[in-house]
């Protein structure tokens, strides 16, 4: 069932801006409610795969605020604390001509100004200053905030502003990094695009569950798996729109429509951390953010020998623009299972006798302490002797002897198990 989002758009001008250039009411009705002209209604209907539209919205105005721009700003600054003044400008502009009931009947409100009120963005609504009043990319981004989305990131240390976090606003393939994104110039709406990234589409509940492939490794298994990804722009094609492997997601984007300004059709890889999608660059030194045919990405454990952590790598095998799909292959080695309940010494017996990469990784703290108290004691002993070996205080053979001696003390039956 389609949900119609009700946005109240209020067009506002001031006593000293009535002569400024401005678009007529019909323009804004087309921008918010139109169909088939790359409107905001088109955008959210397509991005949500038909889950929402803006058909419940209405455009009100132009409304005269009987103050100058500077007088209006001064009134808001006197009434609202610094951290709430954007909200104050949004609400006070509407209340100059309407009642609170006119605000409450909408899901969200947007004030569009034809003067410079020295701010723009979302806070309990959207403030569209004169320089972004007709900007599709800006308005799409801010509507995303009203729907509950935060900003998107990449993994770089770049900062878009002194107050922003490292990597914030640097996912150029995602609308929630606007205004630093791959957007195209539009004859009517200034700038348009790009799409919303797959993790955010999924977060909002719009990604069809049967179009998501969750790849989970069986314990101790290994092999390869080929996955065909369908372009996010072509849900009419059957198949997978998003693949998930652990905390990573994979999607395919084609250079067309809302994504007309992206460099080329490509696979995108996101790492999800604390609910935030971080775009993984294919060439971090030049900040290329997309993955093309032949390129290989390895997860952080791919070159390690820790048998208790799964590792995998992904290669882009093929990009097929004609059929709107890309193929990726996943090469994986799943973690060994640790059956704590039935054999406390299983994990130790499955390790090499000498302290090499695998043992050092396991006993240096990358495996959580086991629940069983005896196992915790064994683990601590291993950890202590591993540190001795790392510091070259004992030889590998001596460390093995000391560990066995310690295990005999802790668990009397150890000797027979290790013969």
| Ordered strands of the 58-65 beta sheet | 58-65, 7-14, 108-113, 126-128, 121-122
Q: What's the pLDDT at 171?
A: 97
Residues 271 and 304 in one domain: yes
Last residue of a domain, one of 108, 123, 148: 148
Q: What's the pLDDT at 220?
A: 75
Q: Encode pLDDT of 314-326 as tens digits.
A: 999 999 999 999 9
- Banded pLDDT at 287 (limits 50, 70, 90): confident
Last residue of a domain, one of 333, 360, 391: 333
Residues 308 and 387 in one domain: no
List the alpha helices (DSSP H) in 34-84. 40-47, 69-79
Q: What's the pLDDT at 368?
A: 42
Of 48-52, 118-122, 222-226, 333-337, which range is least confident? Answer: 333-337
- pLDDT over threshold 90, residue 377: no
Q: What's the pLDDT at 407?
A: 54
Residues 313 and 355 in one domain: no
Structural domain includes residue 180: no
- pLDDT over threshold 70, residue 349: no
Residues 136 and 11 in one domain: yes
Residues 277 and 300 in one domain: yes
What does R_g of the chain's alpha carbons equal in angstroms? 28
- pLDDT over threshold 60, residue 345: no
Residues 257 and 314 in one domain: yes
Of 123-137, 160-174, 398-412, which range is least confident? Answer: 398-412
Residues 387 and 360 in one domain: yes
Which of 275, 283, 109, 277 minimizes the C-alpha distance to 195?
277
Structural domain includes residue 51: yes
- Banded pLDDT at 174 (limits 50, 70, 90): very high
Which of the pair, 247 or 339, is modelled with greater confidence?
247
Q: What's the pLDDT at 364?
A: 41
Of 96-100, 224-228, 358-362, 404-408, which range is least confident? Answer: 358-362
Residues 111 and 37 in one domain: yes
Structural domain includes residue 153: no
pTM for this predicted structure: 0.82
Structural domain includes residue 292: yes
Structural domain includes residue 131: yes
Q: How far, in Å, CA of 215 to CA of 278, rounded?
A: 20
Structural domain includes residue 85: yes
Within 8 A by CB and 6+ apart from 54, the residues are 4, 5, 7, 32, 33, 40, 41, 44, 45
Parallel, antiparallel or unpaired: strands 58-65 and 3-4: unpaired
- Banded pLDDT at 285 (limits 50, 70, 90): confident
Structural domain includes residue 202: no
Residues 144 and 243 in one domain: no
- Banded pLDDT at 269 (limits 50, 70, 90): very high
Summary mean pLDDT of the chain = 86
What's the domain range around 83? 3-148
- Banded pLDDT at 392 (limits 50, 70, 90): low
Residues 291 and 394 in one domain: no
Residues 325 and 272 in one domain: yes
- pLDDT over threshold 80, residue 387: no
| Ordered strands of the 153-154 beta sheet | 153-154, 276-279, 266-273, 248-253, 242-245, 212-214
Q: What's the pLDDT at 352?
A: 42
Taking residue 350's Cβ as centre, other Cβ atoms within 10 Å add up to 13
Which of the pair, 127 or 217, is modelled with greater confidence?
127
- Banded pLDDT at 344 (limits 50, 70, 90): very low
Q: What's the pLDDT at 82?
A: 94
Count of domains for the chain: 3
Structural domain includes residue 196: no
Average pLDDT over residues 391-413: 55
Residues 112 and 136 in one domain: yes
- pLDDT over threshold 80, residue 403: no
Q: Encode pLDDT of 59-87 as tens digits.
A: 999 999 999 999 999 999 999 999 999 99
Last residue of a domain, one of 130, 148, 166: 148
């Amino acid at each position: 069932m389609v949900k119609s989002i009700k946005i109240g758009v209020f067009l506002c001008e001031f006593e000293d801006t009535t002569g400024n250039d401005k678009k007529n009411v019909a323009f804004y009705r087309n921008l918010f409610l139109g169909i088939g002209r790359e409107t905001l209604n088109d955008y959210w209907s397509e991005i949500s795969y038909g889950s929402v539209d803006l058909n419940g919205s209405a455009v009100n105005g132009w409304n005269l605020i009987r103050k100058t721009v500077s007088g209006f700003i001064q009134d808001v600054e006197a009434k609202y604390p610094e951290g709430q003044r954007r909200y104050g400008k949004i609400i006070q502009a509407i209340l100059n001509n309407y009642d609170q009931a006119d605000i409450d009947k909408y899901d969200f409100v947007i004030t569009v100004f034809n003067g410079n009120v020295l701010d723009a963005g979302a806070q309990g609504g959207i403030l569209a200053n004169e320089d972004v009043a007709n900007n599709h990319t800006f308005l799409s981004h801010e509507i995303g905030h009203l729907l509950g989305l935060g900003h998107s990131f990449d993994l770089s240390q770049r900062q878009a502003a002194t107050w922003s976090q490292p990597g914030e606003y640097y996912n150029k393939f995602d609308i929630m990094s606007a205004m630093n994104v791959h957007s195209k110039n539009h004859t009517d709406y200034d700038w348009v695009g790009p799409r919303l990234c797959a993790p955010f589409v999924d977060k909002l509940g719009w990604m069809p569950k049967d179009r998501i492939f969750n790849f989970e490794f069986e314990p101790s298994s290994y092999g390869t798996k080929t996955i065909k990804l369908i372009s996010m722009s072509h849900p009419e094609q059957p198949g997978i729109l998003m693949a998930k492997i652990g905390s990573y997601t994979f999607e395919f984007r084609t250079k067309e429509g809302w994504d007309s300004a992206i460099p080329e059709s490509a696979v995108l890889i996101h790492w999800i951390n604390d609910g935030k999608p971080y775009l993984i660059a294919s060439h971090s030194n030049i900040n290329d953010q997309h993955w093309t045919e032949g390129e290989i990405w390895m997860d952080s454990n791919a070159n390690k020998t820790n048998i208790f952590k799964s590792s995998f790598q992904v290669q882009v095998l093929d990009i097929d623009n004609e059929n709107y799909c890309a193929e990726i292959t996943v090469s994986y080695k799943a973690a060994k299972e640790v059956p704590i309940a039935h054999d406390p010494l299983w994990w130790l017996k499955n390790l090499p006798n000498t302290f090499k990469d695998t043992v050092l990784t396991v006993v240096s703290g990358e495996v959580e302490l086991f629940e069983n108290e005896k196992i915790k004691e064994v683990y601590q002993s291993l950890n202590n002797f591993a540190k001795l070996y790392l510091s070259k205080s004992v030889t590998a053979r001596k460390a093995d002897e000391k560990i066995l001696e310690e295990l005999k003390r802790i668990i009397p039956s150890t000797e027979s198990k290790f013969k």
